[in-house]
Amino acid sequence: MKILVVSDTHGKHSNLEKVVERETPFDLMIHLGDAEGQEDYIQELAGCPLEVVAGNNDFFSALPREKELRIGAYKILITHGHYYYVSAGIEDIKKEASARNFDIVMFGHTHRPVIDYGKDIIAINPGSLSYPRQEGKQPSYIVMDIDADRKAHFEIRYL
């Protein structure tokens, strides 16, 4: 199973369109917030199931601030991350996810990609396709693959 994980597109879709074209086919897209009212367009573009949560710039959105997903053998928390102060570090969000018995937590908000394999929890952030903030400022996303043994593998990819 191939899952495309993106965040912080902020209504700018040219890079998302390139990623979808590059990565098709995939089975699920996860958008971790700041879609800025463009969920319907993103759903149409994905052409597969879409899971999306509200970000701090999703004003007046009816989207939930977090969701629980089951993918393969994994219990996954998806959230934008700003309620867990991820700009100051990821320890709080990892502790929260671990305390709630999640295996994986996915978040955005910082516009910086990360894959953190902790003792109890895997924390991932795909960065931003529209406004990257990491060194080099390359638009980024994550591809999650579930292999035949039901094990998750993650890779940060750049445009």
pLDDT band at 75 (very low <50, low <70, confident <90, very high): very high
What is the pLDDT of the chain when averaged over all its residues?
Answer: 97
Answering whether pTM is above 0.85, one says: yes
Which residues lie below 8 Å from residue 91, measured CB to CB, with a gap of 6+? none
* Contact by Cβ (8 Å): 103, 76: yes
pLDDT tens figures, 103-157: 999 999 999 999 999 999 999 999 999 999 999 999 999 999 999 999 999 999 9
Domain that holds residue 52: 2-158
CB neighbours of 72 closer than 8 A, spacing ≥ 6?
1, 146, 150, 152
What is the domain count for the chain?
1
CATH number for the domain including 56? Answer: 3.60.21.10
Instruction: Let me know: does 126 contact 143? Beta carbons within 8 Å.
Output: no
